[in-house]
Amino acid sequence: MVGWAKERQGRRAGGGLAVAGGVVVVCLTGAACSGEGAAAQGAGGGAGDPVAVLHRAADRLVAAGSARTRTAMEMASGGTRVTIRGEGVYDFERRFGRLEVRLPQDPAGTSEHRPITELLAPGALFMKNRGAGVPDDKWVRVDTTSLSDGNLVTGGATDPFAAAEVLRGTRTATYVGRTEVEGIAVRHYRGTADLARAARGASEGNREALAAAAEGFATAEVPFDAYLDDEGRIRKVRHRFSFVNGHEEETVAVASTTLLRDFGAAVRVRLPEDRDIYAGKIASEPGEAGEAGEPGEQGVPGEAGAGGSGGSGGKN
Tens-place pLDDT, residues 206-228: 999 999 999 989 899 999 999 99
pLDDT confidence of residue 244 = 80
Distance between CA atoms of 175 and 48, rounded to whole angstroms? 10
Q: pTM for this structure? A: 0.77
Q: Are 122 and 311 in contact (CB under 8 A)?
A: yes
The mean per-residue pLDDT over the stretch 50-56 comes to: 97
pLDDT tens digits along 90-130: 999 999 999 999 988 665 555 567 899 999 999 899 999 87
| Residue 279 burial by Cβ neighbours in a 10 Å radius (0-12, 13-18, 19+) | middle
Given a cut of 50, is residue 290 above it in pLDDT? no
Closest Cα partner for 40 from 49, 32, 52, 29? 49
pLDDT tens digits along 159-171: 999 999 999 999 9
Q: What residues have CB less than 8 Å from 59, skipping those under 6 apart?
A: none
97 forms beta bridges with 90, 120
Q: Are 316 and 94 in contact (CB under 8 A)?
A: no
Given a cut of 70, is residue 155 above it in pLDDT? yes
* Percent of the chain with pLDDT strictly greater than 70: 70
Q: Are 35 and 50 in contact (CB under 8 A)?
A: yes
